Structure 1
């Protein structure tokens, strides 16, 4: 087999399995399905497609790709051995990865790359400049001899350019000067041919000199080797318990946020998001740093627990999901927040920074949206998942370096920052502890939410069923309380300090709040007597009894409307009417009736039974209650769907694309060599085309057809027709081709 000289030829020569691997690695090449290998090669050689294909390559594989460019494989083929000389080691599996992505092709003795690769990787691959013909023709000994003649100042200049970039600006390049007259290092190097003059102010270090100064290699060994990731082994239970402790703190803070915003929702900024003042207030109330408060706010919105009310004066208000979330077990609540964070298409860590217009970025603002954020988070966590169970990284910066080496072209300017933010946020959420992945997190990454909940249940401390009442009226919870007990204590005491052992304080205000909810003094005494593992102090008993004695002596109630009349007889008549029962009228004074219904409804019912009431405003004047128009409640905006990663190509789609591609190659090959066109066949003569297809069907002969699809794209096929009729040509491969889209047809010779 002759070596492939073009990418299209090489694609035609490889197996279907190799093509399938290429389309899986570079999914953009399969949409729409390429007509033939020529079209596929054209797509694969475009700068945009090459740039996307390079995003997942590690530093060593990219170094092999740069070495191919240094060897000018975009214009002439090079060899695997030459690559080994440039790299100081054999390319190994990295070259196979490049072939699998069609970034390089050909046999080991004739490797090529696409010309557009130089546009993607830059003008100076590996940081070296263009080749100097005179130096390229010289051997290594001659070049070393030239370098030995240079002085210290000249070598320093060469060393700086050898580190890259290989170009420099200087006024000393304005004119060519003989070596005997050269007075500056640049002029002497130019005279010796160790620098190239590009223009009057620019010089360039030749490729050969840079490689010689680097010891005959393009890269140092340290650059090509993946950095070490120092780790420390921990007991799995230690990691899980530490993560569970952070998870409990997360849930407590989220509950506080939801309760605070239920009572006083913060406003939505005109530009969207949460104001800096409201964020600082929240951070102060929760006693957390502002970045932690930002994370909580973003999590609440991402989990659907709060949303923009979209009213005339919009506010961030808890949604109906909040109540069900608060009523769920702790492990379920944690899983909801953790999953929301994994899928959150935003970077909360950007809040507080400034945009291009020097405006501060605020939580919940659109500027924090980054659709690829979920992919970046999972990439970091997957590295931790590869470590032995319980093992954690010693340094976040070491993890940053490893991930940067594995995919240096992925992530843009925020590449390293995403790693730091993921580790910090993952630790705050209880997904990561001691630099290691918790068991529950591993289950979430595997899309096993029930397993994650079960793992978190095992890691969380067992809820306690008792409290410790102190002599100063403080109540200590020696651990997470059972849900019922926690609700009862929170109803009668204020949190004084939160943590693994929460301290509450019982005050006059907190006791009055409990009595306001319908609790009695006897029930409060029973709570502390039965649930406290320590004796109840007498001061607490006196406090409860004293507040209960004064509670409720002055009472207030709610009414939707009232009726007043100086005629007590008329008041009695109204009270005895059928309308009074409909609107639940009740007398609170000889001349005053109240109802829980709105005033407009009360007046309508009274008018139905013959009364003639009038509406009264706050100032005592008669007012018109007729509605001014139709009213509807505001609808909260729907949250947009989250897209994390591009969907992979299915096996079924892959099979169809390969069949389409191979059919196009076969058609192109037949069209060039072995096609016999019948007189009148094909073209615009529909009757002749039908006659040709009918004959091919009868004789079971292959026919070449030209097609134009619904998008106007032309393609070619070789088909063995089995039926022609109903405006359709049906082939032996079960494909159906509308006759009106067939532009030409010809029989294929045997």
Structure 2
């Protein structure tokens, strides 16, 4: 007998079918359903069904629409009826729908979950209400204007607005196409300004099919073939440029940290300033800032006047090689629970969303990125998509209900960001990214290092005081050149400019004129121009004649003997006191500490302010420890379904519940809350009797999670507060709420 309800169908399903269902719809397994009725009820809820539909492709959803058009949510429908509406064999789609328990039943009696009509909407397949008497309506005599109205509504949705529906007129008085169609009954009047196309008319205009041919098969994705090595090299070039810009951002924010907006995030002025200084567009500047935050390279200082400040991770990142730097940023981008592309858009309150603010947070963003990259990974090696819009159409066909209103925009943002970061190039996936998607970090690092040009150990010094780096420099050489020259233009060949200010900067950093001459003499592949030699010598000759130092506090006294006594005391060495004038001592230690030390040594110093007045340096009140900055939130991975062992336990639990529900039971002994003496004794007696006679017992019990369920067990032993069944299952007696012998 065919199953008439979902619970009956689930009850008759095999263990493998139930396991596949619980894997496809993971929410159904938590908490474990007590029986098939509970599982069916849970599977029929709107929230669970909506999640089940998210991963289905357009063809499968089209078949579901056809089932609803045939009213499969209220009565059984044969497969032939669905095939006639779709126009092709719906077998594969029906299998997917059955595997998710959205549809059940044999081919001659298919049924759909009633809640699917609510989720799909009032017009499945874009078809309106059914008017059976219009099934054989003659449309051959319609005028062109009338047919245009019907064709527009037949494409869906079937609802249109027209003031011609305001009044009803007979056929002979109708003047407009809508009035004539209403008068003939080919349109339905819903209200004074709304008309609806009957389902039968739309099907006639669609040649009897509920869907368009484009919904039946996935769109083609045209590609351009490339050598994989070409793709990898092109991506490595983009990655190197992005790394250079990230380094510039970190250096700039180290010197002048931008403020955090009161509402959180980075201000528009700061974004434009960053874009102007790096000579990039705003979108790239926002991506740089977002990845710096996502990788933990910058953070909110959390002070009274908070700023975006580089973290200690910046130093280790800057000290790493280019391949490792890229890997850090690429991994951060893949796991970034934010959408940088939203920056600048308006939120629900019509306020612009700022970069680095919580407005851009989208926990499902990493899943979307991986979905886009995995679509590229399915292409042949080196094959790149010709158009991002074509990729958008393919992904939309594969999962039209997934991604919400930003579904298509997110794909475009992902492709643009991936190209900027060097994750893809020429529309194709790189070898490094493929390894990264496979969780092979070492393989990704090796692939990117191999793709990047080898660092060079020389530069070309020009007569106009420019230094040309014909490729990426060795890290040590790059650091030395940046000390003595400024970047004038960047790219595959970087041009540096040497000026008097840059030479002075190198001397300020501790370099000597001889060391600068040696640097250019050994590292330049071209002769060092005489003008550079003269510039270095001239700046060095004037450098350092006026010197400055740092001091945290000073001591002054007109009595030189007293100062000499202080310098002769051990306290002078402890606080690093040093004489810079006959009546002045300086120390790198804060003044309050120096004064406390002098007082402990027997002196009687006093603190003074800029105007010479004595100051009181004692604390003005109680202090509390500084709060530690909150750790960066990690991205939670997509939850996994139950493992095979857990699935087996869940299914066994469900089968036991079904057996309990199907068995007839005799007089029931029910225990009140907290137990009771007489009832407990009666239960023990009943269980002991079942053990002696080898009979099955129906029991109700509450598990450790507080979930009530029913079981049919055959007791093997009762004692020590435990009921043990012949299948070696154990039930604590204090959790058993009722018991009854199973009747034959």
Shorter-chain-normalised TM-score: which range?
over 0.9
Partner of 1:659: 652
Match of 1:334 among 318, 321, 326: 326
Match of 2:556 in 1: 564
Partner of 1:267: 259
* Counterpart selection for 1:677 from 644, 649, 667: 667
Residues 539-567 of structure 1 show CA distances to partners (whole Å, capped at 9, x for unaligned) of 10111111111111111111121111111
Please give the secondary structure, in 1, of the residue aligned with 2:495.
strand
1:544 equivalent among 518, 536, 544: 536
Q: Provide, for residues 17-62 of structure 1, a one-character-per-residue CA deviation record: whole Å limited to 9, x for no partner.
A: 1111111111111111111111111111112211111111111000
Give the structure-2-normalised TM-score.
0.96
Supply the distance in 2 between the matched residues of 1:171 and 1:351 (Cα, whole angstroms).
42
Structure 1 residue 702 corresponds to structure 2 residue 696: yes
Equivalent residue for 1:107?
A: 106
Secondary structure (helix, strand or coil) at the match of 1:154 reads helix
Shift of 1:204: 2.8
Q: Does the CA contact (< 8 Å) of 1:310 and 1:634 recur in 2?
A: no
Residues 1:617 and 2:617 are matched in the alignment: no
Q: How does 1:482-497 map to 2 (within 5 A)?
A: 482-497=474-489
Distance 1:494 1:152 in 2: 72
Structure 1 contact 345–643 (Cα < 8 Å) conserved: no
- Paired position in structure 1 for 2:362: 370
Query: Judging changes above 3 Å, is the alpha-carbon distance between structure 1 residues 170 and 520 closer, same or farther for their aligned structure 2 residues?
Result: closer
Q: Name which of 229, 232, 244 aligns with 2:224.
A: 232
| Cα distance in structure 1, aligned partners of 2:650 and 2:15 | 11
Q: Which residue of 1 aligns with 2:545?
A: 553
Q: Distance in 1 between matches of 2:555 and 2:170?
A: 113
**CA positional deviation for 1:352:** 1.6
Alignment map for 1:728-743 (pairs within 5 Å): 728-743=722-737
Distance in 1, Cα, partners of 2:193 & 2:572: 99
CA distance in 2, matches of 1:129, 1:39: 34
From 594, 601, 605, the equivalent of 1:602 is 594
Q: Residue 391 of structure 2 corresponds to which residue in structure 1? A: 399
Out of 246, 254, 269, which is 1:254 matched to?
246
2:284 aligned with 1:297: no
Cα shift readout 1:561-600 (whole Å, capped 9, x = no counterpart)? 1111111111111110111121121111111111111111
- Determine the structure 1 residue equivalent to 2:680: 686
**Could you say what secondary structure the match of 1:555 adopts?**
coil
Aligned equivalents of 1:631, 1:528: Cα separation in 2: 54
- Mind listing any 5+ residue stretches in structure 2 that lack a counterpart? none
Give the alignment of 1:521-536 within 5 angstroms. 521-536=513-528
2:570 corresponds to 1:578: yes
> 1:173, 1:197 within 8 Å by CA — same for their partners in 2?
yes
Aligned to 1:86: 85
Q: Within the alignment, does 1:277 sit opposite 2:269 as a pair?
A: yes
Q: Structure 1 CA distance, aligned partners of 2:528 and 2:257? A: 38
Pair 1:642-2:635 in alignment: yes
1:374–1:644: 8 Å Cα contact kept in structure 2? no
SS of alignment partner, residue 534 of structure 1: coil
Deviation of 1:147 (Å): 1.6
2:65 paired residue number: 66
- Structure 2 equivalent of residue 139 of structure 1: none
How many angstroms does 1:608 deviate by?
1.5
Q: Name the CA distance, whole Å, in 2 between partners of 1:201 and 1:274.
A: 49
Question: How far apart are 1:676 and its partner, in Å?
Answer: 3.3
Q: Report the Cα distance in structure 1 between the residues aligned to 2:465 and 2:175, rounded to whole angstroms.
A: 90
SS of match in other structure, 2:614: coil
Deviates further, 740-749 or 532-541: 740-749
Label 1:177 to 1:599 Cα distance change in 2 as closer, same or farther (>3 A).
closer
The 5 A counterparts of 1:295-444 are 295-444=287-436
Q: Could you tell me whether the CA contact under 8 Å between 2:670 and 2:737 is conserved in 1?
A: no
Displacement, 1:658?
A: 1.2
Q: TM-score with structure 1 length normalisation?
A: 0.95
For each residue in 1:605-648, what CA deviation from the matched residue of structure 2 results, as whole angstroms up to 9, or x when unmatched?
21122111111111111111112332534532322221242333
**Cα distance, 1:119–1:562 mapped onto 2, change above 3 Å:** same
Q: Aligned to 1:745, which of 716, 721, 739?
A: 739
Report the Cα distance in structure 2 between the residues aligned to 1:468 and 1:79, rounded to whole angstroms. 80
Shift of 1:297: 0.1
The 2-side partners of 1:677 and 1:720 are apart by 17
Contact 1:707 1:716 in 2 (8 A): yes
1:131-175 CA distances to partner (integer Å, 9 max, x unpaired)? 213235xxxxx43xx222333333233222212222344566577
Relative distance call for 1:732 and 1:392 in structure 2 (3 A) is farther
Q: Deviations over 1:382-435 (max 9, x none)?
A: 000000111100000000000011111110110000000000000000000000
* Partner SS, residue 677 of structure 1: strand
Task: Summarize deviations over 1:39-96 as a string: whole Å, max 9, x none.
Answer: 1111111122111111111110000000000011111111111111111111131110
1:45 aligns with 2:44: yes
Does structure 2 conserve the Cα–Cα contact (< 8 Å) formed by 1:586 and 1:594? yes
RMSD across aligned positions (CA): 1.9
Please state whether the residue corresponding to 1:323 is helix, strand or coil: helix
1:456 matched to 2:448? The reply is yes
State the alpha-carbon separation in 2 of the partners of residues 429 and 174 from structure 1: 58
Which aligned pairs between 1:150-161 and structure 2 lie closer than 5 A?
150-161=142-153
- Tell me how far apart the structure 2 counterparts of residues 731 and 682 of structure 1 sit (CA, whole Å): 20
Q: After TM superposition, give the deviation of residue 364 of structure 1 in Å.
A: 0.3
Q: 1:716 aligns with which of 671, 687, 710?
A: 710
Following TM superposition, by how much is the alpha carbon of 1:726 offset from its aligned partner in structure 2, in angstroms? 4.1
Note closer, same or farther for the CA distance 1:371–1:652 as it changes in structure 2 (3 Å cut). Answer: same
How far off is 1:467 after superposition?
A: 0.6
How many angstroms does 1:711 deviate by? Answer: 6.3
Equivalent residue in structure 1 for 2:473, among 481, 488, 491: 481
Separation of aligned partners in 2, 1:281 and 1:200: 56
- Give the match's secondary structure for 1:704: strand
Counterparts of 2:242 and 2:420 in 1: how far apart (Å)? 7
The more displaced of 356-365 and 281-290 is 356-365
The answer (yes or no) to whether the contact 1:701–1:747 under 8 Å persists in 2 is yes
Secondary structure in 1 matching 2:607: coil
Is the contact between residue 26 and residue 101 of structure 1 (CA under 8 Å) also seen in structure 2? yes
Shift of 1:243: 0.5
User: 1:682, 1:688 within 8 Å by CA — same for their partners in 2?
Assistant: no
Give the aligned partner of residue 25 of structure 1.
Answer: 24
Matching residue of 1:3: 2
SS in 2 for 1:606: helix
Distance 1:401 1:40, change over 3 A: same
Q: Does structure 2 conserve the Cα–Cα contact (< 8 Å) formed by 1:77 and 1:111?
A: yes
Deviations 1:629-683 (A, max 9, x none): 325345323222212423333223222221211111111111xx3x3337x5767
**C-alpha distance in structure 2 between counterparts of 1:197 and 1:22, whole Å:** 44
